[in-house]
A and B are shown apart, each in its own frame.
Chain A
């Protein structure tokens, strides 16, 4: 027999409900904590969401943040945050910093080139070698709208997914998925609060992607559950669920691993510009896998499933015109 890498044993018989208090309770507690953390200490919003200007500088000289700060103090720009950027891809003489400046005045406009040029001039007085690599400036009017668009897009995605799951399965599955996705979402937000990572528009995209990945995972388990509900009509729901998760466990693990194998090189080698985005997705894969196994189906069990309705005809099989009676294929 040829060698095969097996991440999960062929036959598993775990009881995924056994430590429910810990696995589901812990997850719920962390979700609630994350919701609170969103307000205090709060998220580290980038300029996309709160307006202001970010200037990325590069120099061959070692950086002295303190000197940068005192050089900019003379310009009276209000809240200025200067941070050095580290990345394994940088050369030995490559010193990168980002300067974040709060939105200026009460106009809706972005900071214009003249103002940015003054900042550059000031930095050149302490380090003549400073080059400005990129600048981004967002006026307060747009940033206010962007935050709402972001919130709406997340909500729309959640509702859309729940509706789809409801249509394809039962409403209990839709609710279970929805709650699991909320769990994924807030735990990711919680992580961003803990590490004070910058939240910008791409992070919102990462959150939506994470929802897509997570629901993907749940659908596979639910699909097997639906099949087994027909097959084992008299088995208690809890056991059918355990069986379904155990049967799909190998696939769940393998897909998480392939996704992580693809994403982790990007996290390490992809540069600092996209690191936050990839970090959110990597975390999303982990948390999404967890909620597939320990959250979504527990909610469905709690809500109960109507098992009297017979669902022999699989819409997907019908769609592809292959075999109609998939569920009964082995009889």
Chain B
């Protein structure tokens, strides 16, 4: 054991140096962060401001520049947990199915008799037919509209579930289609939230799905949860609808398939609209701030081919009639169609300021959220609190580290010093690991590092205590070292495996700050096995080869 081949020594020392080098950038956090920001800006814009050039030069580019992410509790920022209203999508799907279904059933009027849509819960269509005995025929007709669902488990299933009772058929999305619609809704929501937050240019946001219908959003550096919500825009949904009339209040019943929506600007003005939109924001490919012919701010837009066709056909057929541009349930503009708009592009005018038109363009470009959201959790952490926490955590860690080093040296002399060096390397490894993978350091994470400082020396304590025992039994120093390492090994393995198990459970079940704690705990345990066993062993072996002591006091 006391023979350490050269390659092993080089490997161990090399790993330690690598760990120190990778951890080093964290000592110059602000400077490295600015360097990285400038480097990102250089790639993105191709040029730098004078200030950014200074930042770039602030840290040598040949040095590692990975740093740990600071969590919200250390940097300040906002945290939201949003629940996506998945069932809204079912409703939208059914509403858009209605005209098609009506036409299909009306084509069979001869056998079915008159058809009538009756009130039903959201996400269902109920249609009453005059000839109740022809119900099977009606179901058959409705089923022709169904599309096959492509999922792993739902082979051979279609997207519609049609049932009949008495003289009424009920159409809703099938179970398989609901599942796959949910997946699409969540993917789309995540993507849109991500694009909107990225467009605002904030650093290192966390946007992840949680469970079936939730999205966790964490954005460091943002002023408050309210700002973040404004950025995401809860239900920004754009549609182009046919206008059938105006009204002075929204308490009148608009009739089947119609709805009454308020004007965004003028109080007391309401529009009666066809519920089924002509085109929706989903078909937009581009939107940008422009000015109209009078030089007022406006938003230019462009549709994809499908949207362009639908919009072109509609405008050709309805020249001279008004149509409404509806955003978030409000009519932002209701221009009259002047000509057939064929190219699929157009302009939205309204009473916009320049800022509003820019925001609206951004909102449209990012696309509409497919469904609304409820915010189940909102947290805002001010930057001052985060800065206080970092300062307090760093001072406390340093004091704790020094206390442990003093104690170890007092208890085990030179060997305690070896263990202390290993402990320092251990902490460097934790920071290095976290910097490489871009893990997030939270306030409990700092506590995890502190706990590591306290427990990482445990392996060495076990070894040293064992050495003492063996020396007391009159063994030679060399033999005592060997036995100390060998016999302590089983306890070290068991202790670390159970510890690691707890860390893993914390990581899997924890969220946010707790997960940050689990990360430092896990890395601390892994690193301690290397430093406390291999590094300390090598140091002792080298010292032993150099000194060749006859007697040793551990």
A-to-B contact residues, CB < 8 Å: 1-7, 10, 56, 58, 89, 107-114, 116-117, 131-139, 141-142, 149, 152-153, 156-157, 160-161, 164-165, 168, 201-202, 204-205, 208-209, 211-213, 215-216, 219-220, 223-224, 227, 247-248, 250-251, 254-255, 257-266, 268-271, 273-274, 277-278, 281, 314-317, 319-320, 322-323, 326, 329-330
Q: Is the CB of B483 within 8 A of A329?
A: yes
B408 close to chain A: CB less than 8 A = yes
* B382 touches which of A116, A134, A201 (Cβ 8 Å): A134
Cα–Cα, bound, A247→B466 (Å): 9
**A263 with B451: in contact, given A89-B388, A135-B380 (CB under 8 Å)?**
yes
CA of A263 to CA of B404, assembled, Å: 10
Q: Is the beta-carbon distance between B403 and A216 smaller than 8 angstroms?
A: no
Number of A-B contacts (CB under 8 A): 269
Q: CB distance B381 to A134 under 8 Å?
A: yes
**10 A-B pairs closest in CB distance:** A113-B226, A262-B454, A259-B454, A212-B502, A316-B490, A265-B399, A262-B400, A271-B392, A316-B493, A5-B410
How far apart are A322's CB and chain B's nearest CB, in angstroms? 6
Distance (whole angstroms) from the CB of A169 to the closest CB of chain B? 9
Question: When the two chains form their complex, are residues A135 and B509 in contact, meaning their CB atoms are under 8 A apart?
Answer: no
Which B residues touch A133, using CB under 8 A?
381-382, 384-385
Contact residues in B for A58 (Cβ distance below 8 Å):
384
Asked whether any CB of chain A lies closer than 8 Å to the CB of B375, the reply is: yes
| Stretch with Cβ within 8 A of A (4 or more), from B170-178, B430-438, B455-463 | B455-463
Q: Which of B401, B444, B498, B512 contacts A216 (CB 8 A)?
A: B498
Query: A209's contact among B380, B400, B495, B506, by CB below 8 Å, is which?
Result: B506
| A153-B505, A219-B498 known; A271-B393 Cβ under 8 A | yes
Contact stretch, chosen from B103-111, B153-161, B301-309, B513-521: B513-521
Is B412 part of the binding interface, using a Cβ–Cβ cutoff of 8 Å? yes
Which parts of B194-236 form the interface with A (CB within 8 Å)?
Answer: 224-226, 229
Inter-chain CA distance A26–B54, complex, in Å, is 66
Q: Which of A1, A141, A209 contacts B376 (CB 8 A)?
A: A141
Say how far B324's CB is from chain A's closest CB, in angstroms.
29
Let me know if B407 and A110 touch, CB within 8 A. Answer: no
Contacting residue for A160 out of B374, B468, B493, B505, CB 8 A:
B505
Tell me the bound Cα distance from A326 to B384 in angstroms. Answer: 55
Assuming the contacts A2-B413, A153-B505, A317-B486, asked whether A168 and B377 have C-beta atoms less than 8 A apart, the reply is no
CB B443 to nearest CB in A, in angstroms, measures: 5
Does chain A have a CB within 8 A of B491? yes
The one of A89, A223, A262, A278 in contact with B453, judged by C-beta atoms closer than 8 angstroms, is A262
Interface string of B300-338 (1 = CB under 8 A from A): 000000000000000000000000000000000000000
Complex Cα spacing A66 to B76, Å: 30
Whether A251 contacts B229 in the complex (CB less than 8 A), given A134-B381, A266-B400, comes out as no
Query: When chains A and B are docked, how far (Å) is the Cα of A132 from the Cα of B413?
Result: 50
Chain A residues within an 8 Å CB radius of B498: 161, 164-165, 212, 215-216, 219
Contact of B501 with A137 in the complex, beta carbons under 8 Å: no
In contact, B378 and A205 (Cβ under 8 angstroms) = no
How far, in whole Å, are A138 and B457 apart by their CA atoms in the complex?
39
Are B458 and A258 within 8 A (Cβ)? yes
A142 near B81 with CB under 8 A, answer: yes
Residues of chain B lying within 8 A (CB to CB) of residue A131: 382
User: How far does the Cβ of A285 sit from chain B's closest Cβ, in whole Å?
Assistant: 8
Kindly provide the distance from the CB of B86 to the nearest chain A CB, expressed in whole angstroms: 14
**Is A153 in contact with B388, judged by CB distance below 8 angstroms?**
no
User: Do A266 and B450 touch (CB < 8 A)?
Assistant: yes
- A294 nearest CB across to chain B (Å): 19
Chain A residues with CB under 8 A of B382: 131-134
B379 at the interface (CB under 8 A from A): yes
Contact check, A262 vs B377: say whether CB atoms are below 8 A apart. no
Cβ of B490 and Cβ of A317 under 8 Å apart? yes
Chain B positions within 8 Å of A213 at CB level = 451, 455, 499
A14 CA / B114 CA spacing, docked (Å) = 96
Partner of A268, one of B229, B396, B453, B462: B396
Please tell me if B553 contacts chain A, counting CB pairs below 8 Å. Answer: yes
- A266 to chain B: which residues have CB within 8 Å? 393, 396-397, 400, 446-447, 450
Within 8 A of A (CB), among B455-496: 455, 457-458, 461-462, 465, 468-469, 472, 483, 486-487, 489-495
15 other A-B residue contacts (CB within 8 Å) besides A219-B498, A255-B458? A4-B413, A112-B229, A136-B380, A153-B510, A202-B514, A211-B502, A216-B458, A216-B499, A223-B491, A262-B450, A263-B400, A264-B400, A265-B399, A281-B451, A320-B489
- If A10-B472, A212-B499, A277-B444 touch, whether A109 touches B375 (CB-CB below 8 Å) is yes
Secondary structure of the A side of the interface?
helix
| CB contact between A223 and one of B388, B490, B509, B553 (< 8 Å): that residue | B490
Determine whether B274 belongs to the interface, using a CB cutoff of 8 Å to chain A: no
7 contacts between A and B (CB under 8 A): A2-B553, A110-B377, A113-B224, A116-B226, A258-B404, A269-B392, A271-B388
Cross-chain contact A326 with B490 (CB below 8 angstroms)? yes
Q: Is the CB of A270 within 8 A of B444?
A: no
Contacts of B495 in A (CB 8 A): 215-216, 219-220
Provide the residues of chain A in CB contact with B553, threshold 8 Å.
Answer: 1-2, 4
Contact A263 B408 (CB under 8 A): no
Q: Which of A165, A247, A250, A322 contacts B489 (CB 8 A)?
A: A322
Residues of chain A within 8 A (CB-CB) of B376 are 108-110, 138-139, 141-142
Given known pairs A137-B378, A255-B458, A322-B489, the reply for A269 and B509 (CB within 8 Å) is: no
Contact of A110 with B375 in the complex, beta carbons under 8 Å: yes
In the assembled complex, B83 has its CB within 8 A of some CB on chain A: yes
- Known A-B contacts A4-B413, A281-B447; the reply to A156 vs B505 at CB < 8 A is yes
C-alpha gap A134/B443 in the complex (Å): 15
Contacts of A261 in B (CB 8 A): 400, 403-404, 407, 454
On whether A254 and B461 interact (CB within 8 A), knowing A134-B385, A137-B378, A205-B506, the answer reads: yes
- Residue contact A258 to B461, C-beta cutoff 8 Å: yes
B492: chain A residues within 8 A (beta carbon)? 316
> What is the bound-complex CA distance between A114 and B413, given in angstroms?
61
- Using known A-B contacts A89-B388, A113-B224, A259-B451, determine if residue A205 contacts B514 with beta carbons closer than 8 Å: yes
Docked complex Cα distance between A131 and B383 (Å)? 12
Given contacts A142-B81, A262-B404, contact A254 B411 (CB under 8 A): yes
A255-B81 contact, Cβ under 8 Å, with A153-B505, A212-B503: no
For residue A216, which residues in chain B have a CB less than 8 angstroms away from its CB? Answer: 455, 458, 495, 498-499
Q: Is residue B182 within 8 Å, beta carbon to beta carbon, of the partner chain? A: no
A residues less than 8 Å from B225 (CB atoms): 113, 135, 137
Contact between A254 and B465 (Cβ–Cβ < 8 Å)? yes
B226 touches A202 (CB 8 A): no
Question: Which residues of chain B are near A110, meaning CB under 8 Å?
Answer: 81, 375-378
With both beta carbons as reference points, the residue of chain A lying nearest to B419 in the complex is identified as A258
CA A170 to CA B225, docked complex, whole Å: 52
Please state if A224 and B491 are interface contacts (CB–CB under 8 Å): yes
The answer to whether A112 touches B502 (Cβ under 8 A) is: no
Closest B residue, CB atoms, query A160? B501
Is there an interface contact between B497 and A164, defined as CB atoms closer than 8 Å? Answer: yes
CA distance A316 to B224 in the complex (A): 51
Q: Judging by beta carbons under 8 Å apart, are A152 and B503 in contact?
A: no
A215 to B490, CA, bound (A): 14
* Contact between chains at A108 and B83 (CB < 8 Å): yes
Say whether B407 contacts A109, CB under 8 Å. no
A residues in contact with B400, CB < 8 Å: 261-266
Asked if B73 is at the interface of the complex by the 8 Å CB criterion, the answer is yes
CA distance A262 to B376 in the complex (A): 37
- A112-B375, A112-B378, A139-B376 are contacts. A323–B447 as well, Cβ < 8 Å? no
Question: In the docked arrangement, what's the CA distance between A319 and B389, Å?
Answer: 42
Q: Does B395 contact A (CB under 8 A)?
A: yes
B81 contacts across to A, CB distance below 8 A: 110, 142
A161 touching B377 by the CB < 8 A rule? no
A92 to chain B, nearest CB (A): 15
Beta-carbon contact of A258 and B457 below 8 Å:
yes
Interfacial chain B residues near A112, Cβ < 8 Å:
226, 229, 375, 378
